[in-house]
A = this chain, B = another copy of it.
Amino acid sequence: MQERLTQLSCDDFASKLAAKESVPGGGGAAALAGALGAALGSMVGNFTIGKKKYADVQDDIERMCASAEGIRIRLLDLVQKDAEAFEPLSRAYGIPKEDPMRAQVLEEATLAACQAPLEMMRAICEAIDLLEEMGRKGSRMLLSDVGCGAYLCAAALQAASLNIFVNTATLANRETAQRLDCEVDSMLASYVPLANDVAAQVEAAIRRD
């Protein structure tokens, strides 16, 4: 895997996602959607910086912008990391069933394939916290973008979780599987409602009857 997938154009990435190729797949799409959500948080911050009306939250906004940029870059890197975990897993599934090493190699590759989506989820939770704060402190002119970012991050978090569940289901070590599922469930339980609340508050604020 030499080519960095996120260096593909959006058109080509979407086309490669649609093709009969295993990567990019749902995990890469989740990471990219999360990166878009984090980017929207940055945009709101970047339009807020320097505005007199928001002078008293300037330091907070600058901190959030720096943080959102880091999250965006981590998520774009995770598109690649997720893809790179697929090849060893695919190779492990290809080991003949009678090979005594198959189970162990498959177990290790499956566990390794959980890492990128797990890191995505942690980064997306940080992005959701940022969007929540940006919704309170950022420019009201860009409130709809905060809501869009929150919706995209909620979906990215849920999509990443499926990429963990599908792998933990096949782990022989059930203790490890349950520990992973538990962390995933905990992030979903806290952050999907938070992201949806942020977006619902945006909708209520921008709508007119």
Each complex incorporates copies of this chain amounting to 2
Q: Which of B32, B38, B165, B206 contacts A166 (CB 8 A)?
A: B206
Q: Chain B residues near A206 (CB, 8 Å)? A: 162, 165-166, 169
Q: What is the predominant secondary structure among interface residues of chain A facing chain B?
A: helix
Q: A159-B147, A159-B148, A206-B162 are in contact. Are A17 and B33 (CB under 8 A)?
A: no
Please tell me if the beta carbons of A203 and B69 are within 8 angstroms of each other in the complex: no
Q: Chain B residues near A202 (CB, 8 Å)? A: 162
28 CB < 8 A contacts A-B: A7-B10, A10-B10, A10-B32, A11-B76, A17-B36, A18-B38, A18-B40, A18-B42, A18-B69, A20-B43, A25-B40, A25-B145, A25-B148, A26-B144, A27-B148, A29-B36, A29-B37, A29-B39, A29-B40, A30-B152, A33-B36, A143-B166, A151-B159, A155-B155, A158-B199, A162-B206, A169-B206, A169-B207
6 extra interchain contacts, Cβ-Cβ under 8 A, other than A6-B14, A148-B163, A162-B199?
A18-B43, A26-B147, A26-B148, A29-B39, A32-B36, A144-B163
